[in-house]
């Protein structure tokens, strides 16, 4: 959830969430898949951006559906007042399917056991379950492995019993972020085979879906009836071989900012932060930023994470601590209280989440989703600026 600004005093750090950028990105994705419905994926607190506000902005921007992983995320969204088409796809035995049905949330079955739980929930509540059957086409993660005959026959029997309606048939790609990878065509062929087997079982899912952000942007043959972009909704490229944010016309939604706690002189040869992994090469000035790994800044960013401070992008000097990092300001003018930017919009001269991912050997998805609960999310809207 997006929090309000801390009530006592100014923020030490905050994440600005630009809902105008989010709506723009939804438009980009819609144009990339003009003949398909669009499901904006808002799992994991909208990739760390704040669930309720981002979900509402995604609907405003033209998303037909929202998608979340967890049952709890779906119920949180309903409690926040969202009423539109919504799918959740990850559960454990005994999960709250009854609540999903009562709140008009579509659910997913990965095998006959999960389907049986959904059928039981439908019997208990007297509400027909809207089910999306998940097939494993080569990711070897969730979903039913072939042959699918028994799974589909159970689903058809549950339809005939009036307990479920199979509205969706779906799968997930292993290598969409490498659009040329040979597994893409193999998974596509396997998905098409699953559609035929489902048809032979008498199922008529009206929503066949396969595409994440990368496939939405680069693999039109995977679009089918609905696309499920996540990371691109937040203005971040799914990967280098898909394109840069600028090439894809994506606008980053999150800008992570903080304020300098102090600025002070350091002599040449000063060891900075734990274990002195950075040593000043000349007399210089240091800026102290009150944000650390407890806020989601990867410790792997020690000596490499780029920060915009005092007018230039500079790597963090030395180790990332739990609550603090230091930057070498090189004598440039800076004062306690000045704003610094960890990542945001490359077009505005900020380091980007993608650059943070490259510097710390991870993916930008992890950079934004790990921004912690100590960082308030502050909604801004670039569409409303004059
Ligand atoms: C997270 C997720 C998506 C969105 O993937 P992106 O790469 O962020 O676009 C789509 N479908 C499923 C099943 C997911 O788990």
What is the tens place of the pLDDT at every residue in 84-106?
A: 999 999 999 999 999 999 999 99
pLDDT tens column, 180-213: 999 999 999 999 999 999 999 999 999 999 999 9
Beta strand residue intervals within 138-253, DSSP E:
164-170, 207-211, 226-227
- Model pLDDT, residue 386: 47
pTM: 0.96
Burial bucket for residue 318 (CB in 10 Å: 0-12, 13-18, 19+):
buried
pLDDT score for 8: 56
**Residue 175 known to be catalytic:** no
Contact between 105 and 74 under an 8 Å Cβ cutoff? The reply is yes
Digit-coded pLDDT (tens) for 133-159: 999 999 999 999 999 999 999 999 999
Task: Assess contact for 164 and 112: CB atoms under 8 A.
Answer: no
Choosing from 43, 257, 278, 293, which is the catalytic residue? Answer: 43
Q: Which of 37, 41, 169, 242 to mutate to test the pocket of ligand 1 (most atoms within 8 A of CB)?
A: 41
The pair of three-digit structure tokens given for residue 245, joined into one six-digit string: 């944010």
Q: Is the dihedral of CA 199, 152, 106, 143 positive or negative?
A: negative
| pLDDT above 80 (res 4) | no
**CA 35/CA 333 separation, integer angstroms:** 53
Question: Is 257 considered catalytic here?
Answer: no
Cα separation of 358 and 260, whole Å? Answer: 25
Determine the Cα–Cα distance for residues 338 and 262; give it in Å rounded to an integer.
Answer: 9
**Does domain 19-240 correspond to CATH entry 3.40.109.10?**
no
Ligand 1 center from residue 124 Cα (angstroms): 31
> Could you tell me the distance, in angstroms and rounded to a whole number, from the CA of residue 20 to the centre of ligand 1?
22
Domain 254-384 has CATH 2.40.37.10: yes
Q: Distance from the CA of 216 to the center of ligand 1, in angstroms?
A: 11
Burial 142-171 (b: 16+ CB within 10 A, else e): bbbeeebeebbebbbebbeeebbbbbbbbb
- Testing ligand 1's pocket by substitution, the residue of 228, 231, 242 carrying the most ligand atoms inside 8 A of its CB is 228
Q: How confident is the model at residue 385 (pLDDT cuts 50, 70, 90)?
A: low
Over 60: is that where the pLDDT of 2 sits? no
Q: CB atoms < 10 A from the CB of 43, how many? A: 19
For ligand 1, is residue 213 a contact (CB within 6 Å)? yes
**Per-residue pLDDT averaged across 64-77, rounded?**
98
Between the CA of 223 and the centroid of ligand 1 the distance, in Å, is: 14
pLDDT band at 1 (very low <50, low <70, confident <90, very high): very low
Helix, strand, coil share (%) of the chain residues, nearest 5: 35, 25, 40
Q: Using pLDDT thresholds of 50, 70 and 90, give the confidence band for residue 290.
A: very high
pLDDT tens digits for range 233-286: 999 999 999 999 999 999 999 999 999 999 999 999 999 999 999 999 999 999
Would you say how long the chain is, in residues? Answer: 386
- Check if the beta carbon of residue 327 is closer than 8 Å to that of residue 280: no
Specify whether the CB–CB gap between 319 and 299 falls below 8 A.
Answer: yes
Domain boundaries, the chain: 19-240, 254-384
Rounded to the nearest whole angstrom, what is the distance from the C-alpha of residue 41 to the centroid of ligand 1? Answer: 7
The band of 75, judged by pLDDT with boundaries at 50, 70 and 90, is: very high
Q: Which of 47, 128, 257, 274 is catalytic?
A: 274
The CA-based diameter of the chain, rounded to the nearest angstrom, is 79
Residue 292 makes CB contacts below 8 A (sequence gap 6+) with 320, 321, 322, 323, 324, 325
Quote the percentage of the chain above a pLDDT of 90: 96
**Percent of the chain scoring above 70 in pLDDT:** 97
**Has residue 347 got a pLDDT over 70?**
yes
Task: Give pLDDT, residue 11.
Answer: 86
Pocket test for ligand 1, best of 67, 218, 240, 250 (most atoms within 8 A of CB): 67
Is there an atom of ligand 1 within 6 Å of 50 CB?
no
Nearest CA to ligand 1 atom 6: 230
Asked whether this chain's domains 19-240 and 254-384 adopt the same fold, the reply is no
Q: Is 229 in the pocket of ligand 1 (CB under 6 A)?
A: yes
Pocket flag, ligand 1, residue 163 (CB < 6 Å): no
DSSP state of 145: P
pLDDT at 383: 85
Degrees to nearest 5, angle at CA 77 with 94 and 4: 130
Averaged pLDDT, 165-188 = 96
Ligand 1: distance of its center to the CA of 212 in Å? Answer: 5
């Amino acid at each position: 959830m997006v929090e309000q600004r801390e009530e006592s005093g100014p923020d030490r750090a905050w994440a600005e969430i630009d809902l105008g950028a989010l709506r723009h990105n939804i438009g980009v994705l819609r144009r990339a898949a003009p003949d398909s419905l669009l499901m904006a994926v808002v799992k994991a607190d909208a990739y760390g951006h704040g669930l309720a506000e981002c979900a509402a902005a995604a609907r405003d921007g033209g998303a037909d559906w929202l998608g979340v992983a967890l049952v709890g995320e779906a119920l949180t969204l309903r409690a926040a007042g969202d009423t539109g088409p919504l799918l959740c796809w990850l559960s454990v035995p005994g999960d709250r399917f009854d609540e999903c049905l009562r709140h008009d949330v579509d659910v997913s079955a990965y095998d006959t056991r999960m389907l049986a739980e959904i059928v039981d929930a439908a019997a208990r509540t007297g509400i027909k379950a809207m089910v999306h059957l998940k097939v494993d086409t080569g990711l070897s993660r969730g979903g039913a492995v072939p042959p699918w005959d028994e799974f589909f026959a159970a689903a058809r029997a549950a339809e005939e019993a009036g307990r479920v309606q199979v509205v969706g048939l779906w799968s997930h790609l292993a290598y969409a972020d490498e659009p040329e990878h040979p597994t893409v065509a193999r998974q596509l062929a396997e998905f098409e085979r699953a559609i035929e087997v489902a048809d032979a079982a008498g199922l008529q899912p009206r929503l066949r879906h396969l595409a994440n952000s990368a496939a939405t942007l680069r693999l039109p043959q995977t679009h089918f009836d609905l696309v499920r972009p996540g990371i691109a909704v937040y203005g971040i490229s799914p990967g280098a071989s898909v394109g840069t944010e600028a090439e894809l016309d994506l606008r980053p939604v999150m800008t992570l900012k903080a304020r300098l706690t102090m600025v002070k002189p350091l002599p040449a040869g000063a060891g900075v932060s734990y274990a002195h992994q950075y040593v000043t090469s000349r007399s210089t000035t240091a800026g102290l930023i009150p944000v650390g790994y407890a806020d989601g800044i990867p410790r792997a960013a020690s000596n490499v994470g780029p920060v915009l401070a005092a007018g230039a992008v500079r790597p963090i000097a030395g180790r990332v601590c739990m609550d603090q990092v230091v930057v070498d300001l090189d004598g440039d003018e800076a004062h306690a209280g000045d704003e610094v930017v960890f990542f945001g919009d490359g077009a505005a001269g900020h380091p980007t989440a993608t650059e943070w991912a490259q510097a710390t050997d991870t993916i930008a998805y992890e950079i934004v989703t790990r921004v912690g609960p100590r960082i308030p999310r502050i909604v801004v809207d670039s569409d409303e600026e004059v």
